[in-house]
Amino acid sequence: MAFSKNFLWGGAVAAHQFEGGWQAGGKGVSIADVMTAGANGVPREITDGVIPGKNYPNHEAIDFYDRYKDDVKLFAELGLKCFRTSIAWSRIFPQGDEALPNEAGLAFYDKLFDELLKYHIQPVITLSHFEMPYHLVKAYGGWRNRKLIDFFTHYAEVVFKRYKDKVTYWMTFNEINNQTSGMNDWSLFTNSGLQIQPGENAELLMYRASHHELVASALAVQIGHRINPNFMIGSMFSTGPVYPASPDPKDTMKAQRLMQANCWYADVQCKGKYPAWLKHYFAVKNYDIGITLADEDILKAGTVDYIGFSYYASHVVKAAADEPADYMTPGRDIEVKNPTLSRSDWGWEIDPIGLRVTLNWFSQRFDLPLFIVENGLGAFDRLDGDRIHDGYRIDYLKKHIEQMALAVNEDGVDLLGYTPWGIIDLVSAGTGQMDKRYGLIYVDKNDAGKGSLKRLKKDSFYWYQNLIRHNGNQL
């Protein structure tokens, strides 16, 4: 195994899942602040504003906001070269549509980035990770509204200018493609602040909102490069290969279409244009997405510098008996369990080779540097005195890193770095749980919101520390 000496070993989190301090320093309410705790298989409720008495796990999260110095010290002890987090848009623009930013919010990230840089840990920053200001949903209907392009690019410009000497690696929208892959209440809300009203066409609104985000992202890339030509501004997709359930060519056609549907955002963000099949789909469906000639120029001029992606699992699909001729059935695709793989406690299929498949797929298709910015195992951990023996997590990470090394060394994939998800236990985005743990650092807090918030190093902490020390050469 040989990783370059600049390989970015790191860890990843998102502001709303770990900061807490939901009203600190003048922060506004974000969409993450109106989502209650769900459970395994129980969706989170999206409430109409913050309702007293409901359990909103992101409000306190793990209180990184007040404990960032101690936590960054632990990241330094772990040996991280980079740390991926997001800026909570609602700390900088509490409502989202103000002309002037909130200085206290800007100052918080100054302090955080300075603290990281003190230990030579590079911040890797996502601009929008499921946490847009809630006011933009209530007053504008979320990303269905074109005005959000201006609000977002203004926000991007402010933070690019402020942190131009502290941050090099940026990403615009986290897992921007969830909304097409899932098209459920959660993904429409977390990606785009979309709440579908009776009689509205969810699919059309999803594509419109996505288009606005893609234009905003391409503008942000251009603004960022003007502010600092050395910025590396990337996309961020949720990935995983889609395998056909059988050798039946219909299943292969279905799997291929799903990959196209999951990854069309990559075509736009990396090649600067919509793929032919999707333009055709819009025309057949008579969908007026509002793509102007000026938008097309913006998309072309604002392609990304690298592809960031999350990888957790692969999927197996089957064509339905009544599969339409275009093989498009967003939100109704038949998933089949993969008999060759094991699953996490939450039913996510564990497929390390799928990571190598994914790295090759993106590398061949777009010929851009790649960055694995999320990968990890959500599991129940058990305390044994002051220790957590999470051999299962080590096993998961080790097998994925082995495949990543093969992709780099055998397949020639250009890979910038690897930041396992939830380097410290945090609130699950999908379920709002604390007990779905990804961290290498344990946080004493459970699903009921009880616990001292004390931090403990898991066995995986020491394992990853050793791996980074040897630059991935000793698994």
Catalytic residues, by residue number, are 374
CB of 124 to ligand BG6, least distance (A): 13
Binding mask of the shown chain, residues 28 to 67, with x at each position contacting ligand BG6 by CB under 6 A = ----------------------------------------
- For position 133 contacting ligand BG6 by CB under 6 A, the verdict is no
Q: Is residue 349 close enough to count as binding ligand BG6 by CB under 6 A?
A: no
Our CB check for ligand BG6 shows the closer of 319 and 427 to be: 427
x-or-dash string of contact with ligand BG6, 137-166, rule CB under 6 A? ------------------------------
Q: Which of 378, 417, 420, 439 binds ligand BG6 (CB under 6 A)?
A: 378
- The distance of closest approach from Cβ of residue 346 to ligand BG6 in the complex, given in angstroms and rounded to an integer, is 7
Burial 414-452, CB ≥16 within 10 A → b, else e:
ebbbbbbbbbbbbbbbbbbbbbbbbbbbbbebebeeeee
Of the ranges 207-215, 409-417, 425-433, 446-454, which one interacts with ligand BG6 (CB under 6 A)? 425-433
Minimum distance from residue 21 beta carbon to ligand BG6 (Å): 18
- Residue 8 pairs in a beta bridge with 417
Buried b (16+ CB within 10 A) or exposed e, 386-406: eebebebbbebbbbbbbbbbb
Q: Are strands 387-388 and 334-335 parallel, antiparallel or unpaired?
A: unpaired
73-77, Cβ contacts within 8 angstroms, sequence gap of 24 or more: 73/119, 74/424, 74/441, 74/455, 74/457, 75/11, 75/116, 75/119, 75/121, 75/423, 76/119, 76/121, 77/465
Residues 152 and 434: their CA atoms lie apart, in Å, by 30
CB 409, CB 425: distance < 8 Å: no
User: What minimum distance in Å lies between the beta carbon of 422 and ligand BG6?
Assistant: 7
> Per rule CB under 6 A, is residue 175 in the interface with ligand BG6?
yes
Which residues from 203-242 bind ligand BG6, rule CB under 6 A?
A: 238
Region 291-320 residues binding ligand BG6, contact defined as CB under 6 A: 310
By the 8 A CB rule, do 4 and 413 touch?
no
Contact range with ligand BG6 by CB under 6 A, out of 53-61, 381-389, 422-430, 445-453: 422-430
Closest CA to 418 of 310, 272, 301, 276: 310
- Find the shortest distance in angstroms from Cβ 335 to ligand BG6: 17
CB of 43 to ligand BG6, least distance (A): 11
How far is residue 127's CA from residue 176's CA, in Å, rounded to a whole number?
A: 12
What are the residues facing 10 on neighbouring strands? 82
DSSP classification of residue 34: G
Q: Which is nearer to ligand BG6, 19 or 295 (CB)?
A: 19
For residue 165, the minimal CB distance to ligand BG6 (Å) is 27
Q: Are 196 and 141 in contact (CB under 8 A)?
A: no
The reply on whether position 374 binds ligand BG6 by CB under 6 A is yes
User: Is 179 within 8 Å of 206 (Cβ atoms)?
Assistant: yes
Binding residue (CB under 6 A) for ligand BG6 from 30, 174, 180, 360: 174
Full DSSP string of 371-401: EEEE----B---EETTEE--HHHHHHHHHHH
**Tokens encoding 76:** 């330094």
Residue linked to tokens 């996510």: 348
Stretch that binds ligand BG6, among 136-144, 162-170, 408-416, 426-434 (CB under 6 A): 426-434
User: Does 460 sit near ligand BG6 (CB under 6 A)?
Assistant: no
Q: Judged by CB under 6 A, does residue 126 bind ligand BG6?
A: no
- Token couple for 267: 């075509």
Given candidates 15, 127, 429, 440, which one binds ligand BG6 under the rule CB under 6 A?
A: 429
Report d(CA 12, CA 82) in Å as an integer.
9
Return the residue of 436, 437, 445, 458 that touches ligand BG6, per CB under 6 A: 436
Give the nearer residue to ligand BG6 in terms of CB position, either 220 or 429.
429
14 binds ligand BG6 (CB under 6 A): yes
List contacts with ligand BG6 (CB under 6 A): 14, 17, 174-175, 238, 310, 374, 378, 421, 428-431, 436
